[in-house]
Amino acid sequence: MSTGSRAWIKPAIALAVIAGIGLTAYQSLNKHQSAPAVTFLGIKGEKITPDSLKGKVVMVNFWATSCTTCVAEMPEMVETYNKYKGQGLEFVAVAMKYDAPNYVVNFTETRQLPFKVALDVSGDAAKAYGDVAMTPTTFVIDKDGNIIKRYVGKPEFPALHALLEKALKG
């Protein structure tokens, strides 16, 4: 073979490598990470286990009573939960470890939060969810237990509702 007839080999290999990298990146972006198998401790001492959430679309919201954005978004979180709970939405509001339990209980009772509220006194739940440090941070988990969206800060509620509707139908 002459040198000219092999001139296409290097560009073809380069294209194959680039295509492979692109495919791998596409697949990794479209694979959803499984939600960690965390048992939350509710404010009344009850355990909220992964089994009790199985087969449901779940929102896990890390928040704190000292977080102004968390407090400001809570009425919309309540509206979202009330709108979709009949379709299978479960909601766990997880108070950060630095939040005083009596503040969390008081906030829950005075605001009449209709969903499960948990205390992360050890910080293990925040660690399991990827070292959550910023509040609010909300995870949307599909019926198969995969994290399909992570919001840091207040979600765009119309987009969140569209995501929940799609997940609840799936």
Query: Chunked in runs of 10, what are the mean pLDDT values of the chain (170 residues)?
Result: 58 49 44 91 96 96 98 98 98 98 98 98 97 98 97 97 96
Count the Cβ atoms, other than its own, within 10 Å of residue 41: 17
* Cβ-based neighbour number of residue 36 at 10 Å: 17
Per-residue pLDDT at 23? 43
Chain position carrying tokens 């995870």: 139
- Strand pairing category for 89-95 and 40-42: unpaired
40-169: what CATH class? alpha beta
140 phi/psi in degrees, rounded to 5: -110, 125
Residues 155/158/164/170 CA torsion (nearest 10 deg): -140
Confidence (pLDDT) at 65: 98
DSSP state at residue 36: P
